[in-house]
Amino acid sequence: MAYRWKNDLTPAHVTPKALWLNRRQLIAGTAGLGALAAAGAAHAADDLTPNTIEEITNYNNYYEFGTGKTDPAANAGAMVTSPWSIKVDGMVDKPGDYSLADLLDGLTTEERIYRFRCVEAWSMVIPWNGVELADVLNKVGVQSGAKYVAFETIVQPETMPGVRGNVIPFPYVEGLRLDEAMHPLTLLATGIYGNPIPNQSGAPIRLVVPWKYGFKSIKAIVRISLVDQEPPTTWNKLNAREYGFYSNVNPTVDHPRWSQATERLVGGGLFAARQDTLMFNGYDEVAGLYEGMDLKANF
C-alpha cells in the first residue's frame, strides 16, 4: 500500500511545464523580483519527476564494487543476496540473527518518493519501497540506554572486486542518533519502482535517510546494533575534516573542496542549470531534531 509522506515527490506534484514557465515569466515581469528570477535556478521541488530506473541503477556509489560510477552496475551481478541474515545486537530486548523475511514480517511496506542528495553535489529522485526503520527497531525492542544505531554492510570478497582491492577499509559502517533512526522519514528500503532493489543499489536491504548526504544511506545491511556511544562511520574515519557524523544536507556548509550550495540533477541533461540545494534536502520536518545544535560545528 502506498502511503505518501507529506514531503514525498509524486507525479502529482509535477508542475505542468507551461505553468512553470509562465510563473517564471510572471516573476520576471514583476518590478524588483526580476533579478531574483534571473539569478535563482529553478528548484526541483517545482518540476521534478522520479529518475528512470536506468539512471538510478547505472550511476552508483558502492565502493565494494569499485570506485567508478558504472562499476557497481558492471560488477554487482554476482553478489549473493539470498539467503540473507541480519544480526541485531547491543541494547535490544530481542537480539539475534534474523532472516530478512523474519525481520520484516508483519511490517508495512510503503512507497516513498524521495529526493536523494549525494555529498558529491548530484541528486536524483528515487521511488523507494521499504519499511520505516522505527518499525523494525520497535519490533526488536530498543532498551532505554541505547542512544545510537550502528549499521554494517556485508563483506563478500569473492563477489566484490573493491573489497579484494581494499579500495577503502571494509566493512562499510554507518550510524544514526536514535532519534534520527526513529524518525518516520528514515526507511529501510527493499525495492525501487515496486521491484526488488537491484544489487548495485543495495540489495537486499539498505538504509535511506533523505535529509542526509547519500553516504549515510548504507547498502546491503547485515548488522544493526543499538549502542550508547556515537559509532564510527566509514567516511568520517577516512577523512573527519570532510565528512562529519551528522552529514545533514546543508547548502550553507561547504565541503572543504567544493560548494554545497547547488547540485546537478542526474539525468537533467548536459546543459541543465544546477539547482539550489535545500536545507535538510527540503525535509524541513527534521529541523526539530537539531534544535540548539550548531550545524556548522556538527556537520
Contact window for ligand MTE (CB under 6 A) among 93-101, 218-226, 256-264, 290-298: 218-226
Which position among 9, 218, 224, 278 is part of the footprint of ligand MTE (CB under 6 A)? 218
**Cα gap 51→122, rounded to integer Å:** 13
b (16+ CB within 10 A) / e for 134-146: bbbbebbebeeeb
**Nine cell digits for residue 208:** 535511506
List beta partners, residue 96. Answer: 88
Which position among 5, 50, 62, 100 is part of the footprint of ligand MTE (CB under 6 A)? 62
Say how many residues touch ligand MTE, by CB under 6 A: 16
- Rounded to a whole number of angstroms, the distance between the first and last alpha carbons of the chain is 36
Which position among 175, 191, 214, 231 is part of the footprint of ligand MTE (CB under 6 A)? 214
For ligand MTE, the closer CB: 141 or 196? 196
Give me the 158-177 binding string for ligand MTE, x by CB under 6 A, dash otherwise: --------------x-----
Give the H/E segment covering residue 129. strand 122-132
**Nine cell digits for residue 14:** 509535477
How are beta strands 187-192 and 110-117 bridged, if at all? unpaired
Q: What is the DSSP letter of 78?
A: G
Which position among 86, 92, 118, 188 is part of the footprint of ligand MTE (CB under 6 A)? 118
Nearest distance from C-beta of residue 94 to ligand MTE, angstroms: 25
Which of the residues 179 through 208 are near ligand MTE (CB under 6 A)? 201-202
What is the binding site for ligand MTE (CB under 6 A)? 60-64, 118, 153, 172, 201-202, 214-215, 217-220
